[in-house]
Amino acid sequence: MEIVSILLSVIGWMTYIYLTFTALYLFAFSFASLFRVPALKVPDIPHRKIAILIPCYQEDEIILEVAKEALNQDYPKELFDIVIIADNFQSDTIEKLQKLPLILFNEKFPISTKTRALNHALKHLTQNKYDLVCILDADNIMEPDFLAKMNQALHQDCVAVQGHRIAKNLNTPFAILDAISEEINNNIFRKGHIRLGLSSALIGSAMLFDYHFFKDLMADIEVVGGFDKEIELRLMRDGYRINYLPDAYVYDEKVQNAKAFSRQRRRWLSAQFHYFGIHFIPALKAFFKKGNIEYLNKALQYLQLPRILTLGLLFLIALLHLFLSTSEMTILWLSSLIIIILALLLAIPSTFYKKETLKAILYLPVGFLFMLLSLLKIKGANERFIHTKHTFNAFQIKKKK
């Protein structure tokens, strides 16, 4: 019995250290995000030619509106091309797209992946010479000044810039929770990191790269899920820097129900743990041998459970200790719970402090349950294509002012 007691005590302390480390990590960068990122003093950069790549899989319902919106940039028309990689589209959609002033690749890939679509476009875009490449998702809508701002933000100090993705729709409780989650990510893993001198995290779209650098980088990348994680890990490993532009907006559709929420998170979790397993030991070696803190920091991010799971577990454990235990651990668990709650509250934009958000918070236990189920089903999710269908009308956006 004594051995069992010691074992349980060790497991308890390890769980406490793990969850508390996550809470402190989130709080540090959340607090840092409250401070304005100082503007870098760089010379005015001339307009450069940009290829805007939009890989799509069976997105017939929204792609026409997305394409038309993408053409309306406040940027010299001759200096950007909309490039749509249409995978498994209906013939009538293709005919309508062909009438628009854009570059269209009509494909039916045997195995559909984002990396395959992007590499196909990069391989066949040989007629026009580009300086930069912008990556969008099939549902993304850029603010009219997006390209102009991103063009100025990509300079000699970085090889990539992440724009600010915000919610296109807040029409269901899960869409609100998804939108809040995205903004927390923006503040903690992007703005907070930049404020403390680290690189921004990537998110898979609303990204700008040097064209030739990105083409060379993508040449040997063939992954089913989490291609943005593959890219940022390679960049951190090799000592490159990623900038973040909080005032360059792209609207992104948020998942609208529990099923889509669970499916999307399962894919993300699988990719996260996959890349942690591959990169944690190399990141540790790079830190001790070369002082590469960026690479180690990224690996530590992938070690953490999703915030909703961390919050839920801390709440349940603290509650159990509060009612069933009188040990000093009760105060420790409650302190960790308070820390993560403060971290999340600081990272949520003030625009979400309204009654609709309070109603959406009631669905957090449902989200926690689905995340737990996703955690049990992540095996192999990173090895097969899981498509999230988009249906939200592009012109229903309430534009950010």
Long-range contacts of 72-75 (CB under 8 A, 24+ apart): 72/144, 73/142, 73/144, 73/145, 73/146, 73/147, 73/148, 74/144, 74/145, 74/147, 74/148, 75/47, 75/50, 75/147, 75/148, 75/151
- Which secondary structure element, helix H or strand E, spans residue 360, and what is its range? helix 355-361
Strand partners, 162: 207, 244
305-355 residue pLDDT tens: 888 889 999 999 999 888 877 677 889 999 999 999 999 999 999 999 998
User: Kindly report the CA angle at 206 between 378 and 393, in degrees rounded to 5?
Assistant: 85
What's the CA gap between 231 and 204, in Å, rounded?
9
pLDDT at 186: 96
As a whole number, the mean pLDDT across the chain is 87
The set of residues, in sequence order, having a beta carbon less than 8 Å from that of 64 and lying 6+ positions away, is 93, 96, 97, 100
Higher pLDDT, 369 or 82: 82
How far, in whole angstroms, is CA 6 from its chain's centroid?
Answer: 40
What's the CA gap between 336 and 343, in Å, rounded?
11
What's the CA gap between 353 and 167, in Å, rounded?
15
Mean of the pLDDT values across residues 282-307? Answer: 92
Higher pLDDT, 358 or 162: 162
Residue % of the chain over a pLDDT of 90: 58
Place of tokens 């009612």: 323
> Where does 219-328 have alpha helices with state H?
227-237, 258-290, 293-303, 307-324
> For the ranges 11-15, 193-197, 327-331, 370-374, which has the lowest average pLDDT?
370-374
139-183 residue pLDDT tens: 999 999 999 999 999 987 789 999 999 999 898 898 999 999 999
pLDDT at 398: 47
102-112 residue pLDDT tens: 999 998 888 77
How deeply is 366 buried, as exposed, middle or buried, from its count of CB atoms within 10 A (0-12, 13-18, 19+)?
A: middle
What's the CA gap between 393 and 157, in Å, rounded?
38
Mean of the pLDDT values across residues 22-29? Answer: 97
Long-range contacts of 147-151 (CB under 8 A, 24+ apart): 147/50, 147/52, 147/73, 147/74, 147/75, 147/80, 148/47, 148/73, 148/74, 148/75, 149/245, 149/247, 149/248, 150/208, 150/245, 150/248, 151/45, 151/47, 151/48, 151/50, 151/75, 151/208
Strand partners, 160: 209, 242
Q: Is the pLDDT of residue 225 over 90?
A: no
Name the band, by pLDDT with cuts 50, 70 and 90, for residue 395. Answer: very low
The set of residues, in sequence order, having a beta carbon less than 8 Å from that of 291 and lying 6+ positions away, is none
Tokens coding 118: 């992007």
Residue pair 183/347 in contact (Cβ under 8 Å)? The answer is: yes
* DSSP per position, 82-145: EEEEEES--HHHHHHHHTSSSEEEEE--SS--HHHHHHHHHHH--SS--SEEEE--TT-EE-TT
Domains of the chain: 17-35+266-383 (no CATH), 50-169+193-254 (3.90.550.10)
